[in-house]
């Protein structure tokens, strides 16, 4: 059966629709998942961070951030949730996976989930030692789940 209405296809169409709706008015467009966490290292906000790289590379079609596999422990229930303990549990690994792009809509023609599909200028790879994009894996209520997640990625 042809995959004419899969979730992935709808996701791609949503990205394209958003990009084309806002490309004339947006300075940056990001296609990110809810489990991706960008941490600004050049300023207090993500806008400061992205502007920093754009000022250094004004013609870049996108700024590609490598993502690091990261594990985090949190509560599975709202009444047991704590921001402090959740963020203190973050464990960042050295394993890098496909990055995520911050698009400069002036030079990108089409976005994709991780990088520009068609662009008019080169993509700038943000140095991983000068940026943080984390791909979060959650363990709910049980610290031992983090160990099992590490184990499953090593195989």
In a domain, 1, yes or no: no
Q: Dihedral angle at the C-alpha atoms of 112, 97, 82, 150, nearest 10 degrees?
A: 150
Structure confidence by residue, pLDDT tens digits, 66-110: 999 999 888 888 888 888 988 888 899 989 998 999 999 999 988
pLDDT at 4: 57
State phi, psi for 58 to the nearest 5 degrees: -65, -20
Structure confidence by residue, pLDDT tens digits, 32-72: 888 899 999 999 999 999 999 999 999 999 999 999 999 98
Indicate the range of 119-123, 131-135, 146-150 predicted with least confidence: 146-150
pLDDT, average across residues 142-150 = 47
* Opening angle at CA 32, ends 29 and 36, nearest 5: 135
DSSP count for the chain of H helices, then E strands: 4, 8
In a domain, 2, yes or no: no
Q: What range does the domain containing 145 cover?
A: 7-154
Q: How confident is the model at residue 10 (pLDDT cuts 50, 70, 90)?
A: confident
Check residue 5 and report its DSSP letter: S
Structure confidence by residue, pLDDT tens digits, 128-143: 899 889 999 887 755 5
Checking DSSP bridges between strand 62-74 and strand 132-140, what pairing results, if any? parallel
Residue pair 52/130 in contact (Cβ under 8 Å)? The answer is no
In a domain, 91, yes or no: yes
pLDDT at 139: 76
In a domain, 111, yes or no: yes
Cα separation, 86 vs 75, in Å, equals 8
Name the domain count of the chain: 1
Q: Tell me the CA distances in angstroms from 66 to 48, 91, 99, 110, 143, one per residue in order.
A: 18, 16, 4, 20, 26
In a domain, 61, yes or no: yes
pLDDT at 66: 92
In a domain, 23, yes or no: yes
In a domain, 126, yes or no: yes
In a domain, 76, yes or no: yes
């Amino acid at each position: 059966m042809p995959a004419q209405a899969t979730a992935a296809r709808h996701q791609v169409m949503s990205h394209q629709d958003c990009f084309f709706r806002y490309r004339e008015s947006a300075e940056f467009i990001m296609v990110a998942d809810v489990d991706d966490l960008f941490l600004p290292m050049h300023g207090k906000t993500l806008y400061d961070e992205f502007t920093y790289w754009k000022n250094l590379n004004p013609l870049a079609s996108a700024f590609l951030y490598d993502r690091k596999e990261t594990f985090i422990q949190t509560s599975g229930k709202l009444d047991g949730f704590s921001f402090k303990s959740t963020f203190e549990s973050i464990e960042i690994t050295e394993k890098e996976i496909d990055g995520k792009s911050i698009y400069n809509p002036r030079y990108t023609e089409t976005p994709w989930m991780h990088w520009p599909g068609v662009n008019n200028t080169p993509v700038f790879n943000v140095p991983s030692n000068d940026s943080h994009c984390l791909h979060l894996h959650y363990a709910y209520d049980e610290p031992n789940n983090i160990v099992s997640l590490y184990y499953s990625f090593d195989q």
